Every structure is written in structure tokens, then in C-alpha cells.
Structure 1
Amino acid sequence: MQADAFFVLTGGPGSGKTTLIDALRGEGFAGTEEAGRGVIRDQVTVGGSALPWGNRALFAELMLSWEMRSHAQALETTGPVFFDRGVPDCIGYLELCGLPVPDHFRSAADRFRYHPTVFVLPPWPEIYSGDEERKQDFDEAVRTFEAVSAAYAACGYTLVEVPKTTVSERLAFVRARAPYPR
């Protein structure tokens, strides 16, 4: 499988990315788990410090590792894969936090590529909610959207904003713009 069939959905937290990935899975497509949520869940389980409210640099390193592993696993998949974030999100996260972006993050973004079109879900206050893994307020969600959008643009991707509408309409929007066999 080539990376031109790897479609990223990104944006700020609480914008409906995972719900849309789940809808795509419901139609039989492969999808990945969001690195941030997975790392938080694992770190809380073991009492680790690699958390966004703990060691943010280490949290970013673990997210990067997760995203590279997800990309490698997707290479073994037939058909399109929809990613709940990707490697450039890790760069955006570091920039959001005001932390330096190590060279190996940029190297990873160059090596682990996705389809040139990235779907960006904008901040949407009407559906935003926090939980045990999502502790950001809405203002930080907006800043995250801006940071990850800038990171993907800097990595050479074309951003397509997904409209704020029903899940089925968002699903149709992505399906109409992701060039894969129907």
C-alpha cells in the first residue's frame, strides 16, 4: 500500500475527528487510533510522566513513536487508511507548547508521508467537550487547530476544511474528496 492512500484527519481536540474515523470504519475502511489518547491512557495506567500535564516533551516523543508505528502498520493494509492525526501533528503540538522541535521530528515528517490532501476539522464549540484524556479548554483547542494546520502546511500538505455538519454529511464530504475506489 502506498502512502497516497493514507488520509489524515486532523484539527483541534473535540472537533469530531474520531467520530468521523469511526464512521469510515463503519463503512469498512481501516482507521488508526489517535496517538495522544493512546499515550495518555497508557501513561496513566503505568503511572508514567509522559503526559500533556506532565512532561510535554516526552509526551511528544511517545506520540511520534506511536504515529510512526501506525504508519508502518498501515503499509501492511490493503485499501485506504484514515489516520486520526499524523506525524506533523507532533510538530504542531511542540510548537503549541513553545517547545523546540528536534530535527528528528522534521525528519520523520519527511519520511512518513500521507496523501497530499489533509482533512482538517475546525474548532466547533457546540460539540466540544472535555473528558479525562481531553483536559484542554476550548481556547486551547482553537490554538491546537491553528498549530497543527500550520505544521501540515509547512510540511507541504494541502488542507481541506471539513464543514461543521452532521456526521453523515461529513462522511460524504470526505468520501467525495478522497481519491480512492468506491
Structure 2
Amino acid sequence: MKYQNDNFYILTGGPGVGKTSVLDELEKSGYIVMPETARAIIKEQMAIDGEALPWKNKESYMLLMLEASAESYREAISQNSSLPLFFDRGILDAVCYARMVRLEVSDKIQQIAENYQYNRKVFIFPPWQDIYETDNERKQDWKEAEATFEAMKKTYQDYGYEIIEVPKDTIGNRKDFIINCIKQE
């Protein structure tokens, strides 16, 4: 089944660029926000001493991330909201990860990416070294963070999405920038 939801917006980018802070602000403003699935998978796998981690079994991690992202999309449909709904990363983030670690993007993965469509405008957060930090789930160094940004941008463009770069600014101004871009549609 193919889904197209023009009120579903993705916020993406490399790690540690402020997406979650802006999403928290959007949620405080009354918008529905779908949390990042990748970070939840890492926390869960670490808690159970699992193998589906980016530093252990990259393929298992990617497949869990892909399925969790598709489930998040289906859950968002059940919200039945006419307001913009925001995702902390989308299905194509899993595709991008697969490309970056040189995993095969199988026909099944390709089909999922094509069947779950978001608004064509994707908000991407650029690398911002002043706010970048690593932690237990985020282990990428700065160079990897920059490479992830470029790879995300290319992946979304390859699938026909329009990239809108969110300026480096305060959390409130970044939130307002996103809302104003949506209102201009």
C-alpha cells in the first residue's frame, strides 16, 4: 500500500545538530511530534546487551531502524490530524545509513522508501560544531557528523525531496523558520 501525507514533515541531518530541541519546542507549541526511532533502538539494544547496534551489527540495526520508522509513520496516520506533524528523522534516514555503511538497499527496502511518502519539503539541520556533543548513543566524531549531513542531503534529493536548510540560530527562531516555510505553501 502506498501512502502520501503532505502534512508529514521530516526534520533530519547529522547527529547533534539540534533537531530534537526544535522538535521539543514544536511539541510545546501544540504540534504532534514523532520521536527518533534510531536513538530508541540503540538505548533498547544497549539495555538488553543486543547486537543490533551501529558499532556491532550494522545490518540488524538498519533493519530495525527501517521497520521502526515505518511503524512510526503508520502510528502518525492514526493521529488523524490535519495539522503539520513532525518526524525526528524519516524512513530515508535508514536508507542513507545503509548507503553510508555499504549495505545493500534491497528491493524490499526500496519499496518501503517509495511507499511511505512525506511532504516533499524536508528540513535539514546543518553540522554545528558549537553545539555538537557525543554521548552513550551518539558516538560519531565531528568528521562523521559532517559526512552524515552530506549523505542525508543527497539521499533525500535522490528520492525527489526538496531540501530546506534550517539556519543555525536559537531554538525558537529555528522553530519559527520551519513553521513559516510551511505556511508559505
**What SS class does the counterpart of residue 123 from structure 2 fall into?**
strand
Per-residue Cα deviation, 1:129-156 (whole angstroms, up to 9, x for no partner): 0000000001101111111111111111
TM-score, length-scaled by structure 1: 0.95
TM-score, length-scaled by structure 2: 0.94
Q: Aligned to 1:85, which of 86, 89, 92?
A: 89
Number of equivalent positions: 181
The equivalent residue for 2:98 is 94
The equivalent residue for 1:28 is 30
> Aligned partners of 1:154, 1:22: CA distance in 2, in Å?
29
> Aligned partners of 1:128, 1:164: CA distance in 2, in Å?
12
> Aligned partners of 1:126, 1:32: CA distance in 2, in Å?
26
Distance verdict in 2 for CA 1:37–1:180, change over 3 Å = farther
The equivalent residue for 2:146 is 142
The equivalent residue for 2:178 is 174
Paired residue type of 2:179? R
Gaps of 5+ in 1: none
Please identify runs of 4+ aligned residues in structure 1 that moved more than 2 A: none
**What's the offset of the Cα at 1:102?**
1.6
The equivalent residue for 1:19 is 21
Q: Aligned to 2:59, which of 40, 57, 60?
A: 57
Per-residue Cα deviation, 1:73-107 (whole angstroms, up to 9, x for no partner): 00011122100000011111011112221221211
The percent identity for this pair of structures is 40
**What SS class does the counterpart of residue 9 from structure 2 fall into?**
strand
